[in-house]
A and B are shown apart, each in its own frame.
Chain A
């Protein structure tokens, strides 16, 4: 891990609904709700700020409704934030993410970011073979040589331990774990410096989870990709993340070194969360 900053997020907020002046003060952990009692809007995330450095894995932990996925979706341009700023540092350049135009956003999304979703349907094209999914990503980045594309797809699938004999099969024939591997391969196709992982092992068998987490760590070591790992699973956080943010009802309630959060949690909620881990 170096001292190079990759991402700087300041005061990110996302409200679903028309919103009102009282939304923020009437929602959050102290009020035990995301829903504004005055206008019914949902404050999915408010005032989210954090930094991410090169080669670092940041964990965002929280239960359902905490706003952890929302934060990441806004950074990956799946949604438009209500307010806030995010700066992406890449190769000596700086990008003010939320003020980019559609073409610039698309360029970053296709070339410099990767995203792996909990549900493979969101990250994969089920009308196209596994190898085709990776080809699609490479084609977005203007690769024009068929043999090169195929070779790279094979390399990536091998890296994520998908049997290359199956690369021409449709994703719907794969197990959940294998679909996630294809997603990871696809996300890594363009060697992005920033990778988002949204509950990627949730719902998978434990042994499969372990293998995928292992894979993620290896990849991170090899390529020094900065990652944001969203999960509600303490075990995943412990294994992957050096630093962790704990969220509840759309707010950050605690941040710190992962081992400190797990062994010396300061906030009452975090203490309860850690104590409830099986």
Chain B
């Protein structure tokens, strides 16, 4: 459905996206995950032809997208990160305007269905620019779905929504996928997409660190664990010695306590005890705890991410 080959975008001295190789398959929900500034929105803008890639190839619906191509967007629905409406149109008129741009001749019944589903029916004649952020987000989703696209691109689709709105949007996305649609969701919050995404790609610093199924990703991330060690005296040499261990991703010191993030499939506590003893440290307490998927994702994208990419064998 979407395929990118060595897609790169460079802005003078800043590399926004580097050698990105994505493969979004038909009928799946693909979660495009990464912290703010990772290059997600830049990638989406390149997919839509809003900015031109510096290099690389981009294929949508199996056809290469070149400069000036725009007809392919008839089969795509897009929800922007910050929905902006500035015209004098009501919510209803705005969606009808876009429906006409997409070539929908009688959009009324579909619009009615979507406005009801997202609780905007009562306010449909209000000015779209006066809607709250959450309402504008829902309106963007209606606009994106009115022409029954084959591919739905969502950039942070639930930002600004209350919990009820989040549930409504998730239900619509799930129903859309079940009807055969393909969804490409970009988010910086794993929990937003972990329930619905079939596969996930994690982007960091413009590079794709991991691309895997949700189960595969859970397996990779589950190798991470948090360990809290209390020692009699913490010295810089001890911290340095611990941090130099290959299975230690992160060390944080707080008084006599050391909070470690480890990545290993084995139990490394005995090895770590020896390292501390060899460095002259005396362990008072050692406590391990499992990391949530969210915590593990944050660790991946904030600490030593590229090293982890090498470790996991990601492209």
A binds B: no
Contact surface of B with A, Cβ cutoff 8 Å:
none
Contact surface of A with B, Cβ cutoff 8 Å:
none
